[in-house]
Structure 1
Amino acid sequence: MTRSASGSLPRYILQRTLLVIPMIWVILTLVFFVLRVAPGDPVSAALGGKLDDEALDQRRAALGFDRPLIEQYWDYLSSVARLDFGTTFSDNQSVLHVVRDNGGATLSLTIVAFIIALMVGVPLGLVAGRYRDSLPDVLIRLFGILSYAAPIFFVGFLLQAYLAKPLGLPTSGMATPQTIFNVEEHTHILLIDVFLNGNSIYIEDVLKHLILPATTLGLLICGVFIRLVRVNILQTMQSDYVEAAEARGLARRKVTWRHAFRNALVPVITVIGLQFALLLGGAVLTESTFNWPGLGQKLVDYINDRDYGAVQGIITIFAVAVVLISLLVDIVNALIDPRVRY
């Protein structure tokens, strides 16, 4: 039985990896054609006020917009396969360079928000499940519902209005200009670079700027973790082996920690990929609310400028990243829970 289970893991990983290929193809196809059917000429929309008609025609030809749609589609797929995600129309900059310069800010915001959601949601879900139908359970469930029902921009506004001044927290930007200017860039991720720099003043500055936007974004999925952990705690506490452990005289607190809590974490791991994707989408609104200089804010700027090339490239990278993260989470989940492999 053990040999069969261990032998099925490579097959499961191979199947999930192969499934990623058509998923990415469908996503790329949707991105391409949805943007292509948008009204208007993207080159004229992005550069109409900067170039004359002849220059616009030359630019359109250089970008391949004078060619048949199927040829443009094939070129797009071929470019993505070579990890070439195109260039921006407005300043002819590589989309990969845009992601490199701005993606670190979004990644650090998303990861910290995810950690906050776990640190808040999992313990609250444990308490709610442990004390079912009590006042703490009711209040925690209400908090969970509000956390994922309230719009991000509204939550951000409330935190800015009621927490920023009393706690002395900034409401805009990623750091002060002094920190950004003085911290040597090693990784294009300021949160990492300030720790590599070792200056406690700069570290404190970056962390202070991170608290409100990361909390706002983390609350988006906090309620999901509360509900998952609570439901699985309740199910596990009613299982036969937990009742048997209690019958042997084990304290309920020890039973809750040793059996119920550990089993309740498996569903949390299962939905990590989906929730991380939700955070990436929520980062767009969060960055706009807090003027956070990340990829989401950059995407909004490009949409306002109608820079079709940048929008297509950034959305493509977002989508592919979400699929790959989901694949990684599925593999980790299969390692933790062998039942997933069948």
Structure 2
Amino acid sequence: MSRAGSLRGYILVRLALMVPMVWVLLTVVFLMMRVAPGDPISATLGGKLSPVELARRQHELGFDKSIFTQYFEYLWDVVRLRFGTTITDGQSIGSIVLENGGATLTLTLAALLVALIVGLPLGLIAGRYRETVPDALIRLFGILSYAAPVFFVGLMCQIVFAKNLDLLPASRQASAIVQATAPDHTHILLLDLTLAGDWSGVGDALKHLILPATTLGLLVAGVFIRLVRVNVGQALGGDYVEAARARGIPEHRVVSFHAFRNALVPVVTVMGLQAALLLGGAVLTEQTFSWPGLGSRLLTYLNNRDYIGVQGLITVFALVVVFVSLIIDVVNAMIDPRVRY
């Protein structure tokens, strides 16, 4: 089979496998939201509406129908990219994603950048100097960064760098004056400020981004440290590395251009899997730093027992994770031909 044909076949198989995966995710989300007795309208507004008004709202949203009817209507709405309307504020999930998704996307990408900047070089050093003091210290750092609760790390960063040292802002996406005057074309503050040429506003937004991005990025950096360390160690024992050494290639080039490059292939794969970890961590990070993203809205609807809002946002998160994983799998198949055979 040709290279293009094998890649095309691999993509088609992944697309076919994605259908049952998405169906299982949607089913789990639907059932989770209906574990509690009653319906979302009663849970959210049961004490605020008269019985007649409560019955009318239940009928309008279809909660007086059978569970099977609700389930199939839910699946059909998702196919049409309709994720519902929140009970507490009457907003559609689509408008919430449009308004707040840019903030979550900015935080997630910045956190991934921090994770790569911290995790890759430390993993390379640990893999190069295995079973030494630097290796032990780096492994300890990786374990602590992964195991430490995100909200705890965020609070410590706020106390040290915002309160005690007064170096960085403690909360929000930008200062009040920048947020009030910034254009809102793309709903991504940094991009809007850049397009407007407001470089002082860009600097202010970047300063506000440092603490939450670092807090969330350290969570994933521990995964990259462990992965790169293991793969660099395995690569250094390979025949092609021994052959490179035998040809007189300097050790730093052997490590950097032979072992490290091969160690990056599984990192690309794991990056897709970390999307779920980053989105889950973003919920607590956004709450800790008052970041106006989807995680903050999700917690608001949880506190208000607005299960329609919770169900819609979790469905969006699940679909994002599935599609990111698909993209990473395709990229990985293009990088490493062994994946698609």
Whether TM-score is above 0.5 comes out as yes
Q: Deviations over 1:94-119 (max 9, x none)?
A: 11101111111111101100000001
Shift of residue 7 of structure 1? 2.0
Structure 1's unaligned 5+ residue stretches are none
Q: 1:47 aligns with which of 45, 48, 63?
A: 45
TM-score (norm 1): 0.97
Which residue does the alignment assign to 1:134?
132
1:108 to 106, 109, 125: 106
TM-fit CA distance, 1:49: 4.1
Instruction: Name the CA distance, whole Å, in 2 between partners of 1:312 and 1:107.
Output: 20
> Residues of 1 paired with 2:202 and 2:85: CA distance?
34
Partner of 1:207: 206
Q: Distance in 2 between matches of 1:50 and 1:191?
A: 40
- Count matched residues: 340
Which stretch shows the higher mean deviation, 315-324 or 90-99? Answer: 90-99
Structure 2 counterpart of 1:97: 95
Q: Return the alpha-carbon distance in structure 1 between the equivalents of residues 232 and 89 of structure 2.
A: 54
Corresponding residue number in structure 2 for 1:182:
181
Asked if the contact 2:102–2:293 (Cα under 8 Å) also holds between the matched residues in 1, the reply is yes
Equivalents in 2 of 1:93, 1:287: separation in Å? Answer: 20
TM-score with structure 2 setting the length: 0.97
Is 1:4 aligned with 2:10? no
Secondary structure class of the residue paired with 2:33: helix
Partner deviation per Cα, 1:182-229 (whole Å, 9 max, x = no partner): 111110111211111221221111111111011000011101101111
- 1:58 is aligned with what amino acid? R
Could you tell me which residue of structure 2 aligns to residue 194 of structure 1?
Answer: 193
Give the drift of 1:53.
Answer: 1.6
Give the equivalent residue in structure 1 for 2:26: 28
Which contiguous aligned blocks of 4+ residues in structure 1 show a shift greater than 6 angstroms? none
Partner residue, 2:17: 19
Query: 1:191 and 1:51 mapped to 2: Cα distance?
Result: 42
The answer on 1:282 being equivalent to 2:281 is yes
The residue that corresponds to 1:122 in the other structure is 120
Shift of 1:181: 1.1
CA distance in 1, matches of 2:161, 2:32: 41
Cα distance in structure 1, aligned partners of 2:177 and 2:53: 41
Percent of aligned pairs sharing the same letter: 61
Paired residue for 1:153? 151
Partner of 1:58: 56
Residue identity opposite 1:258 in structure 2: F
Deviation sequence 1:153-206 (CA, Å, 0-9, x none): 111111111122425211111111211111111101112111112212211111
| Matched residue, 2:331 | 332
1:75 match: 73
**Are 1:258 and 2:257 counterparts?**
yes
Question: Is this contact kept in 1: 2:125–2:135, CA < 8 A?
Answer: yes
Deviations 1:261-281 (A, max 9, x none): 110100100111111111001
